[in-house]
Structure 1
Amino acid sequence: MKLASYADGSRDGHLVVVSRDLTQAHYATGIATRLQQVLDDWGFLAPQLEDLAVQLNHGKLRHAFAFEPDKCLAPLPRAFGWAVVDGEGGIRRDAGHFAPPHQPLRAPAMGEAVLAGLTGDLSAASDAPAALDALRLLTLAVDWRVAGELVATQAAPLAVTPGELGEGWNAGRLQARLVALHNGSKREPRDVSAEPGDALARVARLRALRAGQVVGASLGALDVALAAGDSLHLDLKTADGNTCFGAIDLELPAA
């Protein structure tokens, strides 16, 4: 299933289920209003959301409406923590505040793409298979840094269950293509691969994780130099060209 959090004036937004083709959405009211509620009680609430998604995909919901990515916050705007595992196995931690997919950057920054896994409860010292069992949802995130300091973490509009990724998900590994448009010009796409279960197990090596923490596997630095007035469109796509998590679109104010 595909989930998003619509802006409603609150800090966490309102949970919606999104159709597989990204054309329709439906509020999850009556099941849960916030994604954190679902992560806290996944075994009970997730099957109900799955049923809602099936009905939505078959056009059986009277109150469905057109999905508008511009209305989305990050799927989980306030996580219980954000940790990124880099290519060498090092771990960086942050508070876990995620900006919307369309929030402008205040200044030019260097970006790092990350496959972000939203987790359920995970015991300390869990191995990779156990960590993969605790993985609930995936999304795309970008850490933005100025002079090495993290200034923002931006998330794509959708958090999806791994099964929604089709051929892009195989044996606990995501294989996809990172597509970037810089000022409307397409950059050379880059094939990326990540195993979020391994990243979760590494972060949980010394301490337990609680439902609602987010752990990322680095997909590498973005090879884009941003300047004032620039725009950037980022999207992870499967081999068949379908978006994995919706696009991150940002602009920098003109000088």
Structure 2
Amino acid sequence: MKLATLNNLTRDGQLIVVNRAGTQAVKVPHIAQTMQQALDNWENVAPQLNTVYEHLNQGGLNDAFDLDLDQVIAPLPRAYQFLDGSAYLAHVERVRRARGADMPPSFKVDPLMYQAVSDGFLSHNQDVEVVSEEYGIDFEAEAAVITTDVPMNASVAEAGQCIQLICILNDVSLRNLIPAELAKGFGFLQSKPRTALSPFFVTPDELGSAWRDHKIHLPMRTWLNGEWFGEPDCGVDMQFDFAELVAHAAKTRPLAAGAIIGSGTIANHDMAKGSTCLAEKRVLEVIADGKAKTPFMQFGDDVKIEITDENDHNIFGTIHQKVVKY
């Protein structure tokens, strides 16, 4: 099943069911007005939404309309919680190595995770507004899952059953603000502005065999200013799967329906796969040549992120954003 949110000039938009091709949609106010409303009552709502989805794909709905992606906002325009992990240790190891630090053994058994901005998400094609280029503007191509209610101290198996939807995202980072913030010992704040979500949320079955072991086994493709930047496989070198990340987040507190759990920057040990953020490319340049050559994003630069399957089907839709001066 594929879902999106239509801009109706309200904060939370209007939930729509989208066909598999991402070309047509139908409004479903009789089932749920918003994505959050659907997630709040997912057990009852999901079967009804799926029936609509099946009819839509069969061309059997008179109220279906052609979908204009410019009218689509973030599927969940605001969430009660967004927790972002760092499950790809190839990325963590390289970043630490560049500054002469080893990766602690605990990182292999205890996921890194922080509480990110959730009171608003950028749409898939919305400009990234930044005050200054001196902040070190970077993109981060990630995947994420959206849960129903997760009980406190849920087991990994229980956490996996709470995963209902999947998306990709651009987790914008302001790299030059990070060191001073981390030095305070309280984590990210000013260095992590709003994140962009893909236009579509999909249920795990939409990925077919590419969704297994609570991982996405497909490449995350990224282009910077129209040039190929990287395509590491999301299912390779992921130290902690999504069920483990959700269980980690819920260890001491329950998670409310609509919680978004991010994977962290996608990275493979195979450097030929490229990168999904500028910081990692710069790190690899430091490791190889002693200094970074690639600049961070400048005003006017754009990034494109998507995942396609073996049939070239664009599962989540494309994130394509430009950086502009605020």
The two structures have a TM-score, normalised by structure 1, of: 0.94
104, 109, 122: which is aligned to 1:99?
Answer: 122
Residue in 2 that maps onto 1:17: 17
Report the alpha carbon displacement of residue 65 of structure 1 after superposing the two structures with TM.
Answer: 1.0
Could you tell me whether the CA contact under 8 Å between 2:139 and 2:172 is conserved in 1?
A: yes
Amino acid at match of 2:207: L
Query: 1:122 & 1:180 partners in 2: Cα distance?
Result: 32
Q: Which has the larger radius of gyration?
A: 2
Secondary structure, aligned partner of 1:100: coil
Query: 2:141 & 2:75 partners in 1: Cα distance?
Result: 17
Report the alpha carbon displacement of residue 64 of structure 1 after superposing the two structures with TM.
Answer: 0.7
Query: 2:300 & 2:325 partners in 1: Cα distance?
Result: 4
Matched, 1:208 2:254: yes
Amino acid at match of 2:114: R
Where in structure 2 are the equivalents of 1:72-111 lying within 5 Å? 72-87=72-87, 88=107, 89-96=111-118, 97-107=120-130, 109-111=137-139
Alignment length (residue pairs): 255
Distance 1:222 1:173, change over 3 A: closer
Query: 1:218 & 1:139 partners in 2: Cα distance?
Result: 13
Matched, 1:164 2:206: yes
1:128-175 deviation line (CA, Å, top 9, x unaligned): 111111111111112112122101211001011000112221232211
Amino acid at match of 2:156: A
Where in structure 2 are the equivalents of 1:94-173 lying within 5 Å? 94-96=116-118, 97-107=120-130, 109-146=137-174, 147-148=177-178, 149-173=191-215
Residue in 1 that maps onto 2:227: 185
Query: 1:134 & 1:188 partners in 2: Cα distance?
Result: 31
Give the fraction of aligned pairs with identical amino acids, expressed as a percent.
Answer: 28
Query: 1:93 & 1:254 partners in 2: Cα distance?
Result: 26
Which sections of structure 2, spanning at least 5 residues, go unmatched?
Answer: 88-106, 179-190, 267-274, 279-295
Where in structure 2 are the equivalents of 1:212-231 lying within 5 Å? 212-220=258-266, 222-224=276-278, 225-231=296-302
Report the alpha carbon displacement of residue 253 of structure 1 after superposing the two structures with TM.
Answer: 3.0
Secondary structure, aligned partner of 1:201: helix
Amino acid at match of 1:12: D
1:182-222 deviation line (CA, Å, top 9, x unaligned): 22223342222252111101101111111111111113373
Secondary structure, aligned partner of 2:205: helix
| Segments of 4+ moved more than 3 angstroms | none
Amino acid at match of 1:163: D
Could you tell me whether the CA contact under 8 Å between 1:110 and 1:222 is conserved in 2?
A: no
Amino acid at match of 1:59: G
Query: 2:50 & 2:305 partners in 1: Cα distance?
Result: 27
Could you tell me whether the CA contact under 8 Å between 1:80 and 1:212 is conserved in 2?
A: yes
The two structures have a TM-score, normalised by structure 2, of: 0.74
Residue in 2 that maps onto 1:252: 323
Report the alpha carbon displacement of residue 93 of structure 1 after superposing the two structures with TM.
Answer: 0.2
Could you tell me whether the CA contact under 8 Å between 1:177 and 1:239 is conserved in 2?
A: no
Report the alpha carbon displacement of residue 254 of structure 1 after superposing the two structures with TM.
Answer: 7.4
Q: Which has the higher strand share?
A: 1
Secondary structure, aligned partner of 2:172: strand
Report the alpha carbon displacement of residue 92 of structure 1 after superposing the two structures with TM.
Answer: 0.6
Secondary structure, aligned partner of 1:253: strand
Query: 2:214 & 2:147 partners in 1: Cα distance?
Result: 14
Query: 1:86 & 1:64 partners in 2: Cα distance?
Result: 40
Amino acid at match of 1:231: D
Query: 1:157 & 1:11 partners in 2: Cα distance?
Result: 16
Residue in 1 that maps onto 2:293: none
Distance 1:223 1:217, change over 3 A: closer
Query: 1:169 & 1:144 partners in 2: Cα distance?
Result: 26
